[in-house]
Amino acid sequence: QVQLVESGGGLVQAGDSLRLSCTLSGLTFSSTYARAWFRQAPGKQREFVGGFLWNSGATKLAESVADRFTLSRDKPKNTIYLQLGSLKPEDTAVYYCAARRSSSTSYPKSAEMFDYWGQGTQVTVSS
């Protein structure tokens, strides 16, 4: 059974930082093509935040967060991290991690391209 478990969300003030983590179980390294973070604010569509191509370690961050957020991973622990810095109220959302099994011709950035999802962790940024 494939399972993704996120943690690290919370209520913070504008300008603060948080680190989210996501651990994947039930899927081997060789069966994982990509891992990613998405977020969804109330009334909005789920949007790509950043991700890894798992074997190469190549990363991509959305332009809207690239100057404030960073990605890292602990491959042996099958865990990815999203460091959120200089948080703004507009970063308030439920943050989800996702995993994709098969390769793709384009970098997977749409929610439809991912096979497995975590339950999400709430990040709330007060002004």
CA distances from 54 to 13, 41, 50, 105 (A): 32, 27, 13, 15
Yes or no: say if 123 and 65 are a contact pair by the CB < 8 Å rule.
Answer: no
Least confident window among 1-5, 42-46, 49-53, 103-107: 103-107
Yes or no: say if 116 and 27 are a contact pair by the CB < 8 Å rule.
Answer: yes
Burial class (CB within 10 angstroms; exposed 0-12, middle 13-18, buried 19+) of 78: buried
Q: What is the DSSP string of 88-125?
A: -GGG-EEEEEEEE-S--SS---SGGG-SEE---EEEEE
pLDDT per residue over 14-55, tens digit each? 999 999 999 999 987 778 899 999 999 999 999 999 999 999
Q: Is the pLDDT of residue 100 over 80?
A: yes
CA 112 to chain centre: 15
Neighbours of 83 (CB within 10 A): 14
Provide mean pLDDT across the span 100-122. Answer: 95
Burial class (CB within 10 angstroms; exposed 0-12, middle 13-18, buried 19+) of 96: buried
pLDDT per residue over 44-86, tens digit each? 999 999 999 999 999 999 999 999 999 999 999 999 999 999 9
